[in-house]
Amino acid sequence: MYPFTDQVFIIAELSANHNNDFDLAVDTIKAMAKAGANAVKVQTYTADSLAINIDNDIFGKRKDGLWKGRTLWDLYKEASMPYEWHEPLQKVAQELGLVFFSSPFDLDGVALLEQLDVPLYKIASFEITDIPLIRAVAKTGKPIIISTGVAQQADIALALETCHQENNYQVTLLKCTSNYPSTLADANLKTMVDMRDTFDTTVGVSDHTMGSVVPVTAAAMGARVVEKHFILDRALGGPDSAFSMEPGEFADMVKSVRQVELALGKVTYEVSEKDKLRRRSLYASVAIEKGQPFTHDNVKSLRTGFGLAPQHLDALLSQNASRAYNIGDPILAEEVSAIVD
């Protein structure tokens, strides 16, 4: 079942913020629920899913960036969540009313998540060109969220085509900037709207900026999904700590998104009967005798709306009063003729 409702679907990303401590992971998921998240997303992989344990120019120590001095294999080994944690953490999330799902990074990960019967999947930005992985996920028939942080338009089109070939059309695209952290200038949220229109699918944002400006703005622009990294305390450290939201910050973001939704409301042109009476209508501006013609000198458009609508003034001016009017009396439609409603 597609889990998205009329509200923006707000995902708290655990990522590596478990710091290899199961109890910390449990406490973090509890804090996610308290902060108002709809879902917790984890990542399902081992270091071997992503890298080779060798020190060369490709897989060796990073020369710059947040993870400078770390090899990819060591980084992924530290950041990965043990497979045996998935089921107990899923139970914790479900007991708290959270949707539990994951980003698998290889086919073994998909097999594990299918055993757990997760209700949806996420394809991370760096996996958007892994067509065999996307095809395997699409074949499950479950909804898919795809981040587009390192994707060109052709990459997005191919990923969607792959899902559609498996008769899976339940795909949401997330505008994402794959810098950690990223800046507001990198967000380019207009691209999110263009993706919605170009690919005719639901869209959202996976945000790595500090603060909540991007997700709140995205919600106002039509995002149906918001994803943010979540940590109990950035002081805990870890590979993703620097760009993760603490519980209070996340709760404030959720509150702001919900306020945006409330303000967006629905398309309506309804006017209450009470408000209709606040509009202008026609009144006798002086006393008018029966049989006396209506003129600009004795009829005036005034607030409120108890009388004839001002759009009928020209038709009214060609007639005579069917009764006497005191100053301030509303001129009613049933008291005149040749008025077209």
* Residue 256 confidence (pLDDT) above 70: yes
* Residue 178 confidence (pLDDT) above 80: no
* Residue 2 confidence (pLDDT) above 70: no
* Residue 261 confidence (pLDDT) above 90: yes
pLDDT band at 238 (very low <50, low <70, confident <90, very high): confident
pLDDT tens digits along 7-51 = 999 999 998 889 999 999 999 999 999 999 999 999 999 888 888
pLDDT, residue 5, reads 66
pLDDT, average across residues 144-164: 95
Domain positions in the chain are 9-45+80-264, 273-335
CATH architecture classification, 273-335? Alpha-Beta Complex (3.90)
HEC letters along the chain: CCCCCCCCEEEEECCCCCCCCHHHHHHHHHHHHHHCCCEEEEEECCHHHCCCCCCCCCCCEECCCCCECCEHHHHHHHHCCCHHHHHHHHHHHHHCCCEEEEEECCHHHHHHHHHHCCCCEEECHHHCCCHHHHHHHHHCCCCEEEECCCCCHHHHHHHHHHHHHCCCCCEEEEEECCCCCCCHHHHCCHHHHHHHHHHCCEEEEEECCCCCHHHHHHHHCCCCEEEEEECCCHHHCCCCHHHCECHHHHHHHHHHHHHHHHHHCCCCCCCCHHHHCCCEEEEECCCECCCCECCCCCEEEEECCCCCCHHHHHHHCCCECCCCECCCCECCHHHCCCCCC
pLDDT, residue 4, reads 61
Q: Say which range, 58-62, 135-139, 166-170, 214-218, has the weakest mean pLDDT.
A: 58-62
pLDDT, residue 62, reads 78
pLDDT band at 188 (very low <50, low <70, confident <90, very high): very high
% the chain with pLDDT above 70: 96
pLDDT, average across residues 147-165: 95
Q: Say which range, 69-78, 185-194, 200-209, 254-263, has the weakest mean pLDDT.
A: 69-78
pTM of the entire structure?
0.86
* Residue 171 confidence (pLDDT) above 80: yes
Q: Say which range, 23-32, 237-246, 300-309, has the weakest mean pLDDT.
A: 237-246
* Residue 181 confidence (pLDDT) above 80: no
pLDDT tens digits along 101-133 = 999 999 999 999 999 999 999 999 999 999 999
**pLDDT, averaged across the chain:** 92
pLDDT, residue 1, reads 39
Note the CATH number of domain 9-45+80-264: 3.20.20.70
